[in-house]
Amino acid sequence: MSEFPQTVGAGRYAPSPSGDLHLGNLRTALLAWLFARSSGRSFLMRIEDLDRARDAGSAEPQLNDLRAIGLDWDGDPVLQSDRREDHEQAIATLQARGLVYECTCTRKDILAAPSAPHSPPGAYPGTCRDRTEEERAEARDRIAPRLPALRLRVPEATAAPTFVDQILGQTQGEIDDFVLKRGDGTIAYNLAVVVDDAAMGVDQVVRGDDLASSTPRQILLQRLLELPSPPDIKYAHVPLVLGPSGARLAKRDGAVTLRDLKAAGVKPDLVRAKLAQTLGLARPGETPTMAQLLERFDPPSLPREPHTWSEDLIASGT
Ligand code: GLU
């Protein structure tokens, strides 16, 4: 099904172009590169630009920053917005099997609805799942000109998929009837990721561990669409970088992008060295090359805990 070159396997990095990458994003990208290159895979880049409202078209500066710290990738970056046809096709495949239904609920409706017994907190309560044709038409009329979203009808008796993550170990998560396409026509993240990873021949997914809870949904989609799934697809959800408050690093946490650091006179090589230091791959004062990092890279010895970023780390070394 692929227009992309197939290789021995591929890893990837998939940034959303919502502004400059910060040190946490750069660290995850560095890890994705190391996982892919150290296992003989190709390394691909995909720009996840489906959320038009948030994406400011800033892919180019992100790619420049990735290059500046030493990453390279194979072929041109894939733009997720160019892949609409395949996304629609996947939804049509699920639809033909009765696995998709229209949902007219707003966020508020979902919060107000009583939750189904045994369902995880925040799960979709199933309000629109079993509507008759007539009820569906009425519901559509009621929300016009807004359009319904499309949700996956998770087949009854679907066991929550489990997978063995290279960092987190055995991992499991509950699945509800999640959104495939939003009411505004935007293809949902889980659907696009699964379809695009398969089309690009990606068999190794390395990303922040904030996305680990999405993975069971993605594995279910892989199975329903008859695409490769674990153990053929490997997952590594890597610990995040935290800001001084203990929350996930954010741009308000000071000089945390290459742009900020450059303005403060810090060169990208030093940033790479400091990121490597947080991963146990470099000693203080040392500036290893990408080839040296690759030689030293050993997934089982990676830190398992989030790293709390401290500006002192940059200030301390030249
Ligand atoms: N685009 C997502 C992000 O920037 C990553 C998605 C993925 O790696 O699956 O957080």
pLDDT tens-digit profile of 98-151?
A: 999 999 999 889 888 887 767 777 789 999 999 999 999 999 999 999 999 999
Assess whether the C-beta atom of 206 lies below 6 angstroms from ligand 1. no
Q: Contact 19/55 with Cβ under 8 angstroms?
A: no
* Mean pLDDT calculated for residue range 202-230: 97
How far is the centre of ligand 1, averaged over its atoms, from the C-alpha of 316 (Å)?
31
Residue 131 · residue 141 · CB < 8 Å: no
Q: Categorize the per-residue pLDDT at 312 as very low, low, confident or very high, splitting at 50, 70 and 90.
A: low
Domain assignments of the chain as residue spans, ordered by start:
85-190
**Distance of alpha carbon 302 from alpha carbon 281, whole angstroms:** 9
Any alpha helices (H) in 144-282, and if so which ranges? Answer: 189-200, 215-224, 258-263, 268-278
- In angstroms, what is the span from residue 13 Cα to ligand 1's centroid? 8
The verdict on the CB of residue 238 being under 6 Å from ligand 1 is no
Amino acid identity, position 290:
M
Q: Are 180 and 150 in contact (CB under 8 A)?
A: yes
Task: Assess whether pLDDT exceeds 60 at residue 5.
Answer: no
DSSP annotation of 145? T
193 lines ligand 1 (CB under 6 A): yes
Q: What's residue 1's pLDDT?
A: 44
219 pLDDT more than 80 = yes
- Residue 165 CA to residue 147 CA, distance in Å, equals 38
> Does pLDDT of 12 surpass 60?
yes
85-190 CATH choice from 3.90.800.10, 1.10.287.470, 1.10.510.10, 3.40.50.2300: 3.90.800.10
Residue 249 has pLDDT above 90, yes or no: yes
Write down the pLDDT at residue 310: 81
Q: Per-residue pLDDT tens for 266-289?
A: 999 999 999 999 999 999 999 999
**Confidence (pLDDT) at 316:** 56
Mean pLDDT of the chain: 92
Lowest mean pLDDT among 78-87, 110-119, 130-139, 182-191: 110-119
Q: What is the DSSP letter of 210?
A: G
Determine whether the shortest distance from the Cβ of 237 to ligand 1 is under 6 A. no
Residue 209 is encoded by which pair of tokens? 């561990």
For 292, residues 6+ apart whose C-beta sits below 8 A from its C-beta are none
Indicate the pairing of strand 42-47 with strand 10-13. Answer: parallel
Top pLDDT among 315 and 138 is at 138
Question: Is a pLDDT exceeding 80 seen at residue 63?
Answer: yes
Q: Is the pLDDT of residue 7 over 80?
A: no
Distance, CA 190 to ligand 1 centroid (Å)? 10
Q: Provide the percentage of residues in the chain whose pLDDT is more than 70.
A: 93
